[in-house]
Amino acid sequence: MADLLVVKAKIRDAAKGMNVAGDLAEALDKRVRQLVDDACRRAKENGRKTVQAKDL
């Protein structure tokens, strides 16, 4: 897999005292990549080359 878009240390920080399984970062990365792909598709469908928050 390519480099992760998420930062494992930041996930642990956000989990606030919870243990974080080793596979969480990979699963979260997969979800983030899908969100970005979907947002890019929406921007293209709307004739834009700029992905905006509203595309999420």
Q: DSSP for the chain?
A: ----SS-HHHHHHHTTT----TTHHHHHHHHHHHHHHHHHHHHHHTT-SS--GGG-
Domain locations in the chain as residue ranges = 8-55
Q: pLDDT tens digits, the chain, 56 residues: what are they?
A: 579 999 999 999 999 999 999 999 999 999 999 999 999 999 999 999 999 999 99
Report the C-alpha gap between 37 and 18 in whole angstroms: 30
Nearest to 1 by CA among 19, 27, 20: 27
Cut 0.75: pTM above it? yes
